[in-house]
Structure 1
Amino acid sequence: MTPVLAELEQVGEDAAKLAAAPVWPLSDDELTNLLRAAHRLEQTALVLQARLVWQADTRGLPAAQGHRSAARWLRARLMLDPQPARELAAAATALRRPVIEQAVLDGRTDLRQAAVIAATVDAIPADLDGPDGLAADEVSRTVSRAEHTMIEMAGRMPAYQLRRVGERILAHVAPHLADRADEAALARQEARAHRQRGLTLSLPVDGLVRLSGVLGAEDAAIVHATLHPMCRPLAGDDRSAAQRRADALVEVCRLALRTEQLPDDGGEPPQLAVTVAFQPLTRTLGTAATDTGQRLSAATVRRLACDARILPVVLGGAGQILDTGRARRLATGPLRRALQIRDRGCAFPDCDRPPRWTDAHHITPWTAGGTTTLDNLVLLCRHHHRLIHHPGAGWQIRLSADRHPDFIPPSALDPLQRPRRNLYHPRQ
Structure 2
Amino acid sequence: MRSSACGGESEQVAEHLAGLAAAVDGLCTDDLTRLPDSDVLGALRGMEAALRSAAAVGHRLIVESVERGLPGKNGCASVNKLLIEVLRISAGDASRRVTAARKLGTWRTLSGEELPATLPATAAAQRDGDIGAEHAAAVREVVHKIPRATPTPEVETAERVLAELARRGTPEDVARAGQRLLAYLNPDGKLTDDKDRARRRGLRLGRQDSDLMTPVSGWLDPETRALLDPVLAKLARPGMNNPDAPQSPCGDAESASIDRNELGRAAARDTRTAAQRNHDALKQVLRGLLGSGALGNHRGLPVTTIITMRLDQLEHATGVVTTASGGAVPIKDALRMAERSHPVLALFDHNGRPLHLGRVKRLASADQRLALIAAEGGCSRPGCDAPATMTAVHHVHDWRKGGNTDIDELTLGCDACHALIHDGPGGWQTGIAPDGTAFAGRTQWTPPPHIDPQKRPKVNHRHHPGELLDRARRTAMEHNEIHVRRRGRVRGTPHSGGKTGDGEEP
What is the TM-score when the length of structure 2 is the normalising length? 0.33
Q: Higher relative contact order by CA 8 Å / sep ≥ 6: 1 or 2?
A: 2
What is the TM-score when the length of structure 1 is the normalising length? 0.38
Higher strand proportion (structure 1 or 2): 1
In our comparison, the structure showing a higher alpha carbon Rg is 1
